[in-house]
């Protein structure tokens, strides 16, 4: 375990205690020596952590402290790298660029050992299907979802029938082969799924739909029996 990871774990452990905890207890849980706990607490204090207490009495971390270089564990870095690579492969060009920019910002504040973990991450994402012409319109759909605006669709169903729909978009699913827009359909009066490759045309109306996006999302999760975080 790297020293940066050990400091992060110590900080997280201190944050879980509301009352002073002894160095021996910390050492037992972190599986390090008491002497290492003393050194690491001194190091955190030097970097600005508001840790009060002393040897033999115990230590407590006052709330509200977050040391930027220690924000992420190694597994959290792996999760972010994997997620960013997935977005780069499966998202539209704007999302891919945003994912890379976010990862660059994270890398800029990481200490050297965790930066190496990020640069040499071995979690890979398989290639996506070739981008479709509609992918260029995905940023407009994502903006409509964020702003809770209605959308008028010209949609072709699986049987080749075309219909006009006024919908309330609240989610966009990125799958390996297709993109799926999840929305309340005013025509059907229920939540429906629309493949973006079957959307012939659409128009965003600068008009808020009557329900909140998070309420529609919760309703959809309950309907599809998807666990709610």
Residues forming beta bridges with residue 53, ordered by sequence position: 59
The stretches of 120-186 forming alpha helices (DSSP H) are 138-147
Answer yes or no: is 40 within a domain: yes
Q: What is the pLDDT of residue 128?
A: 60
Q: What is the pLDDT of residue 149?
A: 95
Owning domain of residue 179:
133-223
Answer yes or no: is 151 within a domain: yes
Q: Could you tell me if 205 and 164 are in contact, meaning their C-beta atoms sit under 8 angstroms apart?
A: no
User: Mean pLDDT for each consecutive 10-residue tract of the chain (229 residues)?
Assistant: 78 86 92 92 85 84 64 76 83 85 78 73 65 75 92 92 95 84 94 92 92 91 75
How many domains does the chain contain in total?
A: 3
Q: What is the pLDDT of residue 46?
A: 85
Clarify whether residues 79 and 63 are in a common domain: no
Answer yes or no: is 124 within a domain: no
Q: What is the pLDDT of residue 87?
A: 86
């Amino acid at each position: 375990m790297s020293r940066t990871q050990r400091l992060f774990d110590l900080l997280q452990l201190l944050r879980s205690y509301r009352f002073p905890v002894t160095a021996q207890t910390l050492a037992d849980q972190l599986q390090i020596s008491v002497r290492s706990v003393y050194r690491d607490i001194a190091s955190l204090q030097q970097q600005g952590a508001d840790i009060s207490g002393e040897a033999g009495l115990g230590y407590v971390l006052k709330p509200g402290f977050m040391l930027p270089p220690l924000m992420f564990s190694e597994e959290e870095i792996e999760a972010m790298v994997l997620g960013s690579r997935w977005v780069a492969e499966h998202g539209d060009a704007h999302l891919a660029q945003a994912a890379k920019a976010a990862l660059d910002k994270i890398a800029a504040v990481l200490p050297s050992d965790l930066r190496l973990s990020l640069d040499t991450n071995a979690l890979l994402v398989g290639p996506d299907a070739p981008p479709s012409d509609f992918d260029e319109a995905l940023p407009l759909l994502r903006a409509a979802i964020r702003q809770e605006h209605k959308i008028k669709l010209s949609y072709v169903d699986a049987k080749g029938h075309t219909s006009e729909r006024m919908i309330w978009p609240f989610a966009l699913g990125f799958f390996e082969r297709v993109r799926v827009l999840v929305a309340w359909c005013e025509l059907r009066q229920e939540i429906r799924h629309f493949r973006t490759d079957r959307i012939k045309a659409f128009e965003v109306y600068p008009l808020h739909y009557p329900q909140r996006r998070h309420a529609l999302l919760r309703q959809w999760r309950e309907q599809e029996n998807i666990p709610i975080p």
